[in-house]
Amino acid sequence: MNREAPPEIRESPEVPPTLSAVARLAGVSSITVSRVVRLPGQVAPQTRARVERAMRELGYVPNLVAGSLASARTNSVGVLVPTIANSIFADTVQGLSDKLEPSGFSVILAQSRYDDGREDRMLAALLSRRPEAIIMVGSPATEDGARLLRNARIPVVETWDLPASPIDAVAGFDNFKAGVAVARHLIAQGRKHLAFIGGDDPRGARRWLGFREEALAQGLAEPRRLILDRNAPGSVAATAHLPGADAVFAANDAYAIGFMAGLRKAGLLRQGPASAQPVAVIGLGNLEMGQLISPSLSTISVHGHSIGRTAATLMLERGGERCIDLGFELVLRDSG
C-alpha cells in the first residue's frame, strides 16, 4: 500500500495549491514553476510540459498578491470616476480596459459620487493597493488629494478636462471652448435669449463659463443658469419651460433630452429642422439615443472612448507629449 507519494505531496483540496506544491509534484524547484508561468520561453519544453501537467492536476491558480509583493509590480491601475451608472464615463472605462487588459492590467474601480471627501478617501484606498497608475476624471478637488497623488510617484492621468497645472498627464478637451462653441453657434442662428442647464461639477462649470463669456462678448444679456440635481434628467422636464429663453445648452445629453420632454409637453417642439424650433437645444456627449429621438438632438460630441484609450496609452508609455487635447465636435441635427 501507500509506498509512493509521501504525505507532504498530497494536497488537501481545502487549501489552494501553491507554487511549491506544484514544484514538488513536478519534481522541480519553485522558481522553475514561476518561470513556466511568467517566462515560458526560458524553460525547456520537456520540463515545461511536466510543470504544466502538475499545474493542471492541482488546479493551480497563481497568487498575484504574493507575486506583486515580491516583484513590486501589481499590474493594476486605479480608476476614479464620479459615477459609472447612466454615464458617459462608462465609455471611458471601456476604452481604458480595452487598451489595458491585453497587457495584463486589471482595473480597480472607484466612484467619488461628486463628493470631495469621498474622492480623497477613494484615492487613498486606491493608492494603498499600489496601482501602477491612477486614471481619474477631472482633477483632485482638494490639495490633500493632489498631494497624495504626487507623493505616489506613479503616472497619473487626468481626463475629461485640460487642467492648467496637471499633476502628470492629461487626456481631455477644453470644456470652456465647448461652451463658447455652443454659444457662438446659437447666436449665429439668431438666438437672443440663452440659457444653460447643468450640474455644478468643475467641468460643467467650465462649460457654463465659456458659454456665458461668449454670450456677453457678443452683446447678449447674461444667460440664465439652471443648476439641477444629478441623476434626475427627468426632473428637468418639470422645470423645462424657461420663460423667454429661445436657446438652451444642456451640460449633457441626458439633461437635454429631459428638457426636450418638457418642451414637448409645453408644445414647443417641432418635427422640422433647427430653424423651426421655438427653443433650440444643444446637449453634450453624443449619446446614441440623441440621433434616434425626434427631433434629433444636436450635441457636442466628445469621444469618451478615445479619452480612455488615450489615458491608457499615456500611462503605458512614459515620455512624449503628456497633455493631449482630444477636442470635441459640434454635431448639428434638428434640435438646435
Partner DNA sequence: TCCAGCTATGTTAGCGCTAACATTCTAAGT
Partner DNA sequence: ACTTAGAATGTTAGCGCTAACATAGCTGGA
Chain residues that interact with DNA, rule: CB under 7 A: 15-16, 18-20, 28-32, 34-35, 37-38, 42-44, 46-48, 62-63, 66-67, 69-73
Question: Among the candidate windows 25-33, 47-55, 124-132, 218-226, which touches a second copy by CB under 8 A?
Answer: 124-132
Q: How far apart are CA 35 and CA 196, in angstroms?
A: 59
The verdict on 54 binding a second copy (CB under 8 A) reads no
30 interface partner picked from DNA, a second copy, none, CB below 5 to 8 A per type: DNA
- Residues 229-268 close enough to bind a second copy by CB under 8 A: 233-234, 237, 254, 257-258, 260-261, 264
Q: Which of 19, 52, 54, 111 binds a second copy (CB under 8 A)?
A: 111
Q: Which is nearer to a second copy, 189 or 296 (CB)?
A: 296
Shortest gap between Cβ of 60 and DNA (angstroms)? 7
86 interface partner picked from DNA, a second copy, none, CB below 5 to 8 A per type: a second copy
83 interface partner picked from a second copy, DNA, none, CB below 5 to 8 A per type: a second copy
Query: Which letter, b or e, does each residue of 92-130 get, where b requires 16 or more Cβ atoms within 10 Å of its Cβ?
Result: bbebbbebbeeeebebbbbbbebeeeebbebbeebbeee
Please check whether residue 92 is in contact with residue 308, taking contact to mean a CB–CB distance below 8 angstroms. yes
The verdict on 305 binding a second copy (CB under 8 A) reads yes
Q: How far apart are CA 266 and CA 274, in angstroms?
A: 17
Unique residue bearing C-alpha cell 458617459? 88
Name 78's bridge partners. Answer: 108, 134
Residue 219 corresponds to which cell in the numbers above? 452683446
3-state SS class at 296: coil
Shortest gap between Cβ of 21 and DNA (angstroms)? 7
Q: How far apart are CA 97 and CA 151, in angstroms?
A: 25
Q: How far apart are CA 330 and CA 176, in angstroms?
A: 14
Q: Which is nearer to a second copy, 90 or 330 (CB)?
A: 90
Provide the angle, in degrees to the nearest 10, between the axes of the packed helices 19-26 and 30-38: 110
The site for a second copy (CB under 8 A) is made up of 14, 16, 59, 61-66, 68-69, 74, 76, 83-87, 90-91, 93-94, 97, 101, 104, 106-111, 122, 124-130, 147-148, 151-153, 233-234, 237, 254, 257-258, 260-261, 264, 287-289, 291-294, 305
